[in-house]
A and B are shown apart, each in its own frame.
Chain A
Amino acid sequence: MTVLARAIEATRRYGDVLALDRVSLDIRAGELVGLLGPNGAGKSTLISLLVGLRRPTSGTVELFGGSPSDPAVRRGIGVTPQETGLPESLRVGEIVDFVSAHFPERYGKAELLARFGLGDLVRRQVGGLSGGQRRRLAVALAFAGRPRLVFLDEPTTGLDVEARRTLWEGIRSFHADGGTVVLTSHYLEEIEALAQRVVVIGRGRVLADDTVRAVRDVVGVRRVSFAAPVAPELPGILRSSVENGRVHLLTADSDRLVTELVHAGTAFADLEVRPASLEEAFITITSKEETRV
């Protein structure tokens, strides 16, 4: 399959901070790839390298076989702006026209706006849009130039459930027509709903690059917590911490851990078992990665 975007051993530093550490990644035509990772993991830095906003400190980044810093190469991509920065005084239709004008092929304005549920807002000034409407406009702009590859950074953050579903439909239909999508998200649910392939990024490195199912199993971590003064030493604990007299244990198998806990005769009270947050799951993957290296 054709590789549309590629990073080879890409490293990016900001002064002393290592934001990306030798990341290698291929985005192939027709893929719908989810980039998953906590804030500060390096997702945005990776995207900024791929869209030509920054250059890698070392290593190589390619877009359609060329350099992302070449404007002509960027005709094939679409990017979401941050909705907070859209020019307030311009109208919705004007912003779409402005962005479209940069591309040789483009969507009809009416069609594009209708697709993102903005059809009746063409003449509205951006300053008068709700947060959700701005978000949808920002995502719509990524598609304005009929790109082969779109980068969607947190496309549905701040949207209600219905608007999120509408947007997902839009992304799916673009993909069904042969488009390639790279999207970042905090929400595992969003990645599960859309992506086929998931790349987990943490501390500037690729921690996992696999199918949605495989990554879901890895992050299927549970959090067992109870009141006790010290954390017990038991098998199957991925990470433990004590906070305000409560012990928190992360484990892949909570049933077995609780059984072990009872067998060990440890004194505990107020037991609670719940799915770990994505954030906790990431920390777990990250620390496993460190012990393995």
Chain B
Amino acid sequence: MSDLILIHTRYQFLEQLRVPIALVASAFFPAAAMLAFVVPFAGADPASATSATAGMMLFGAMSAALIGLSISVAQDREQPWDPYLRTLPAGPLPRFAGRILTTMAGMLLSVVPVLLISAFLTAAAISPLRLALGIGALLVGSVPFMLMGLFIGYAASPKAAIAVSQVAYFPIAALGGLLVPLEVMPGFLQSLASFVPSRGAIELMWAAVAGRTPSPVSLAAFAVWTILAAAAATWAYRRDEGRRFS
């Protein structure tokens, strides 16, 4: 079974690499935001440059998880290749796992330009251990966004998936304080911030890269979002299966 997971991952990743527009998009936005927001405003102070870099890494990962995954799932569902794969002697697991692993690989790639900009153009500083922890936290922190991406992809048509995922992406990212620090946002937005999943995710990353203590409310909200998104993704997947393969 693990052989098949590897094979599915390999070919999905190959497909992704050969049509790299999604990868380019998820790498471009955080890199551009890095140059626009972080380098000029937070670049000089090592602590704030480091935490802002973490925010941009998560911003890129969210794009790959939420937008990339939802669009690729919705598009694949429209292709007759999808039902054909179901006639092969494999359950749904290899394809599903392949999708998640491919998305994670895409996330890690999208992080590279952000890290390069951070290293060369800001005062950000991090130890290799903290960097590894931070990447681990990034993968954990993006789980609810992958689940949301799966939910949208299984519930919506490709066109709707593009729209819905983009509309969800920016407000969630901004409200979590990934683009600009919460302190510069209006008060009522600050009070909402603890309840969006991006807040818990970024606080996890800050705990990993800077040893800051995350707020319990944000972490609890992150856990609740993860459970809700998992339930929604499972529901949408079953509904899609039931509609097409019952």
A residues at B contact (CB < 8 Å): 51-55, 71-75, 77, 79, 81-82, 84-87, 89-90, 94, 98-99, 101-103, 125, 145
Contact = CB atoms under 8 A, between A and B. Distances in A.
A53 B19 contact: no
B79 interface: yes
A266 B90 CA distance: 66
Interface in B68-93: 79-84, 86-91
A101 B81 contact: no
A114 B142 CA distance: 46
Contacts of B87: 51-53, 74, 77, 79
22 contacts: A53-B87, A71-B90, A71-B91, A73-B89, A74-B87, A74-B88, A79-B84, A81-B81, A82-B81, A85-B80, A85-B81, A89-B14, A89-B15, A90-B15, A98-B11, A99-B88, A101-B4, A102-B88, A102-B89, A102-B90, A103-B89, A145-B89
Which are the 5 A-B pairs with shortest beta-carbon distances? Answer: A85-B80, A81-B84, A89-B18, A85-B81, A82-B80
A101 to B, nearest CB: 5
Given A54-B245, A89-B18, A101 B7 contact: yes
B89 A71 contact: yes
Interface in B131-167: none
A72 B89 contact: yes
- Is chain A's interface secondary structure helix, strand, loop, or mixed overall? loop
Interface in B187-246: 245-246
Contacts of A75: 89
B14 A52 contact: no
- Is chain B's interface secondary structure helix, strand, loop, or mixed overall? helix
B3 interface: yes
Contacts of B91: 71
Given A53-B86, A72-B89, A90-B15, A102 B4 contact: yes
A290 B60 CA distance: 63
Contact of B246 (A54, A82, A102, A125): A54
Contacts of A74: 87-89
B84 to A, nearest CB: 4
Given A52-B86, A101-B7, A87 B80 contact: no
Given A74-B88, A94-B14, 14 more contacts: A53-B86, A55-B245, A73-B89, A77-B87, A79-B87, A84-B80, A85-B79, A85-B80, A85-B84, A87-B11, A87-B15, A89-B18, A98-B7, A101-B7
A282 B3 CA distance: 47
Contacts of A54: 245-246
Contacts of B3: 101
A82 B80 CA distance: 6
Nearest to A99: B88
A55 B242 CA distance: 10
Contacts of B246: 54-55
A73 B4 CA distance: 17
Nearest to A102: B88
B65 to A, nearest CB: 22
Nearest to A95: B11
A86 B85 CA distance: 11
A3 to B, nearest CB: 20
A73 B246 CA distance: 18
Contacts of A79: 84, 87
B92 to A, nearest CB: 10
Interface string B1-29: 00110010001001100110000000000
A67 to B, nearest CB: 13
A13 B60 CA distance: 45
Contacts of B89: 71-75, 102-103, 145
